[in-house]
Amino acid sequence: MCGRVAQFGTFREIVELLRWPGPAEERQQAEARYNIPPQSPLRLLHVEGDSLVQDLVRWGWKPHWAKDNRLPSNARLEGVAHSSYWRAIWPHRAIAPIDGWFEWVKDEADPKKKLPFYIRRADGQPCLAATIGQYPSGTQDAREHDGCAIVTDEALGGLVDVHDRRPVVLPPDLVAEWLDPSTPAERAEQMLLHQGEPAEAFEWYRVSTEVNSSAHKGPQLIRRLE
């Protein structure tokens, strides 16, 4: 987890959901997308001053000193707050507003095949996925090492049947505190460990194998298979 996500809600809807008290700027707009793979631009919310800002940031990041070619798109909660790998971006907290994500389960009839499932909040709200990253500020252009990673944790409850990992999704009333640069690192870690949305907040269902290819686009990819 998580290897593909959907982002189709509007910036205005997110601002209203968060009841953001200050200015909000959609600095980079994005069309609705239903099958976003890693290394693609991801809509990301972060704070500059007292403003909530939306940018498009590459989904994937590695420290400048890393020698391999990996560009991880997810950061495991178990080590994100204390790992030297993530140290540079751990203080730079953001939210990836994803409407849902995809996971694949082996087909019991044919183990060589994998069946895609779409996972979303049962109440229809966007999933406010805790994210860390390196991104431009103000009028800066995107830089070579800009990128982000979604924080993931072990799956619980019925989600284990779909995949053993899940994004850490924060409730709307905690987002402002998570994004606030003055929130102590220890408090931010505790939010991830203990205050993410529980498994009961989500639902999942089978979708078309069209989503297996990131070349396929459109809302038909998240339609429930009867």
Catalytic residue set = 2, 103
- Two tokens, residue 191: 């939010």
> What is the three-class DSSP state of 168?
coil
Residue 3: is it exposed, middle or buried by C-beta count within 10 angstroms (0-12/13-18/19+)? middle
Largest CA distance in the chain: 54
Give residue 200's Cα distance to chain centre: 19
Is the CB of residue 173 less than 8 Å from the CB of residue 166? no
Q: Report CA-CA distances (Å) from 105 to 63, 158, 165, 193.
A: 32, 13, 13, 26
